């Protein structure tokens, strides 16, 4: 679990945290996510989270350049049916988002400048996941947005795919929400965010901003 240099005082694990305590913790995690660099964060119930096979299909058609290059990307990421079952076991999640300048995410140049934003969201997700873990939510589980390989290991082979080796950044690298089938744009729309389909063919002048997302499931 990612904890950084800050020492933590773990909370005793109980059979079931009361909803009152959980809601207060979610408010604290939201505040902390913003302090770490997120634009905002919101607690959502897991019935708002759609896991859709078509999301995984979009990793393949047209095939993403990161497909098969990372242990956290398809086809190596958590299988979609398992993701559905896992997510259903949680009551709540903290949905985290970060506005990104459109010129850093849209158009051919933007797609080459997005790595620092990906890395930042991975780090926020990992730290919130760790905070929840030490607060007694022992099964807290985070997913970020975008390839961890682009964020942390550009130009290098994913060491986790090499027999006998482990991930270089196990406490920071997470699968993207999309890699396990979570319909991120659907969730963003449900919480009232302005979100646009952005890619190499979109001019930065045509969208007010881009977005990066992450989520931490907590129960």
**DSSP secondary structure of 89-117:** T-SEEEEEEEEE-GGGTSHHHHTTS-HHH
Comparing 23-32, 77-86, 136-145, 194-203, the range with the smallest average pLDDT is 194-203
Q: Model-level pTM?
A: 0.93
Q: What does DSSP say about strands 210-218 and 141-143: parallel, antiparallel, or unpaired?
A: antiparallel
Rounded mean pLDDT of the chain?
93
Domain ranges for the chain? 19-48+91-177+185-218
**pLDDT single digits (tens) 5-34:** 567 889 999 998 999 999 999 999 999 999
Give the Cα-Cα-Cα angle 175, 82, 120 (nearest 5 degrees).
15
Percentage above 70 pLDDT, the chain: 96
Cis ω before 62 (30° cut-off from 0): yes
The two structure tokens encoding residue 133 = 């873990």
Per-residue pLDDT at 1:
57
Q: Rounded to whole angstroms, how far apart are CA atoms 65 and 146?
A: 11
Q: Kindly report the number of other CB atoms within 10 A of residue 191's CB atom.
A: 13
Cis ω before 75 (30° cut-off from 0): yes
Per-residue pLDDT at 113:
83
Per-residue pLDDT at 198:
87
**pLDDT single digits (tens) 87-131:** 999 999 999 999 999 988 888 776 678 899 999 999 999 999 999
**pLDDT single digits (tens) 144-168:** 999 999 999 998 999 999 999 999 9
């Amino acid at each position: 679990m990612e904890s950084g240099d800050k020492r933590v005082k773990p909370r005793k694990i109980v059979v079931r945290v009361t909803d009152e305590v959980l809601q207060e913790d979610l408010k604290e995690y939201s505040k902390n996510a913003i302090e770490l660099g997120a634009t905002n964060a919101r607690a959502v119930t897991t019935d708002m989270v759609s896991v859709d096979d078509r999301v995984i299909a979009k990793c393949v058609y047209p095939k993403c350049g990161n497909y098969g290059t990372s242990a956290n990307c398809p086809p190596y990421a958590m299988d979609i049916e398992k993701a559905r079952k896992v997510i259903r076991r949680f009551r709540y999640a903290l949905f985290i988002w970060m506005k990104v300048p459109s010129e850093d995410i849209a158009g051919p140049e933007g797609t080459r400048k997005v790595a620092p934003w990906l890395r930042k969201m991975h780090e926020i997700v990992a730290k919130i996941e760790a905070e929840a873990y030490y607060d007694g939510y022992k099964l807290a589980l985070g997913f970020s947005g975008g390839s961890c390989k682009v964020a942390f290991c550009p130009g290098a082979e994913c060491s986790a795919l090499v027999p006998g080796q482990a991930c270089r950044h196990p406490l920071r690298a997470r699968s993207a929400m999309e890699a396990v089938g979570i319909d991120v744009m659907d969730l963003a729309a449900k919480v009232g965010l302005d979100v646009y389909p952005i890619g190499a063919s979109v001019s930065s002048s045509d969208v007010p901003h881009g977005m990066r997302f992450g989520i931490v499931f907590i129960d």
